[in-house]
Chains A and B, each alone.
Chain A
Amino acid sequence: MCALEGGRLRLVAARNSYEDLDVAQRPRVERLCRLLLADPTEAQDVAQEVLMKLFQAQQTRPETTTWNRWVTRVTVNACRDRRRSAWWRRFRSDDYVLREDDLISSAAGPEDAAIAGEVRRRVWAAFRQLSRRQQEVFALRHVEDLSTADVAETLGMSEGSAKRHLFRAVHRLRLALRGAS
């Protein structure tokens, strides 16, 4: 009886632990997945995988404190794997395009409303046209707010290489922002 009660308590604790982790990490993981994967359904799948991995890792290595960096690295790798395995699905499926009425943010403030519409469409289209490396570097640097050194370490490249990719990405996205193709 005691053993059964103990097991049930552990199960409840694990479920609560997972829910806490989900609440704390899911927005960030999903955002990164959505940036690195064009398909939102795939992004959600990968985010779920990452959260499960994080939960399992935390059960085995609870003493580790650098989970944010771990999560970033695992998410980037999971997105890379998904992109590699998705070539056939992409070939088979129809092309994805951005729909104009989806471009307005659901939480649009005054400034967000000002940048809605055409600018958002151009920026997202330009971001999707960046190389995989440029997307990853820009997302980690200017969306995840990592330092350039951390970006390089997370992506397994030299800092100089990360800066080159970042500068090219910034240049192309700024052109899109200004309306130049």
Chain B
Amino acid sequence: MKDCLSNRSLWSVLEGEGTERERAHLADCQRCTSRGQRLTHDLSLLGRVLSDAPPLPVAVPHAAWTPVRWAAAAAVIVMGLMFGWMRGKAVLDPPAPVLADSMPVLETLAGEVFADSGFGNALGGSDATDLDALAVVSDDAVPCEWQPGGCDDDSTLF
């Protein structure tokens, strides 16, 4: 009894395979022979059931599952839209640059650049927005700057 074929071995023998020993056992063992006949019968029955026209499936809405399924899909879509919106907003609204109260590097640099040009005196001595003072200093530093031929060119006067 304990040497009887396993289901797998029995099926293999009936499929035309299996070892010589297994086939011999199947021929000798009444229990395995009976099991083999049952398996053959079952396979034939299964084949008949499945080769016949299958039952018509009928669409039956599952009241409990359908809303859950759509709710899950809606939640995923909403989360995707929110994620996309938040990312887009982050790109459109970059953080505003922080303005420094004072820029000592630029002040030092400006002092060095304009120290010898006369601009320094004008800038240092009066309000930086005083354009009249700046124009006078500019004329002194670069005379006739706006005339293509220099101070001798009268063509651009009128």
Enumerate B25-58 residues with CB–CB distance to A below 8 Å: 39, 42-43, 45-58
User: Which of A34, A97, A139, A143 has a CB less than 8 Å from the CB of B58?
Assistant: A97
**Do the beta carbons of A95 and B62 come within 8 Å of each other?**
yes
In whole Å, how far is B62's beta carbon from the nearest beta carbon of chain A?
Answer: 5
Chain B residues with CB below 8 A from A174, complex form: 39, 42, 46
Cβ-defined contact, A31 with B51, below 8 A: yes
Tell me the chain A residues, 95-117 only, with Cβ under 8 Å from chain B.
Answer: 95-99, 102-103, 105-107, 112, 115
Q: Is B69 among interface residues, defined by CB-CB distance under 8 A?
A: yes
> How many chain-B residues does the 8 Å CB contact rule pick out?
29
Q: Which of B7-15, B78-86, B92-100, B127-135 contacts A (4 or more CB under 8 A)?
A: B7-15
Interface contact B42-A35, CB-CB below 8 Å: no
- In the complex, what's the smallest C-beta–C-beta distance from A160 to chain B, in angstroms? 11
Residues of chain B whose beta carbon lies under 8 Å from any beta carbon of chain A: 7-8, 11-12, 15, 39, 42-43, 45-62, 65-66, 69
Chain B residues closer than 8 Å to A177, beta-carbon distance: 42, 45-46
Contact (Cβ within 8 A) B51 A143: yes
Contacts of A38 in B (CB 8 A): 57
For A112-135 the 0/1 string (1 means CB < 8 A from B) is 100100011101100100000000
Q: Does the CB pair A94–B62 fall under 8 Å?
A: yes
A120 touches B45 (CB 8 A): no
Q: Which residue of A lies closest to B43 (CB)?
A: A142
Other than the given A102-B55, A102-B58, 7 more pairs (CB < 8 A) read A40-B54, A95-B65, A97-B57, A115-B48, A143-B51, A148-B15, A177-B46
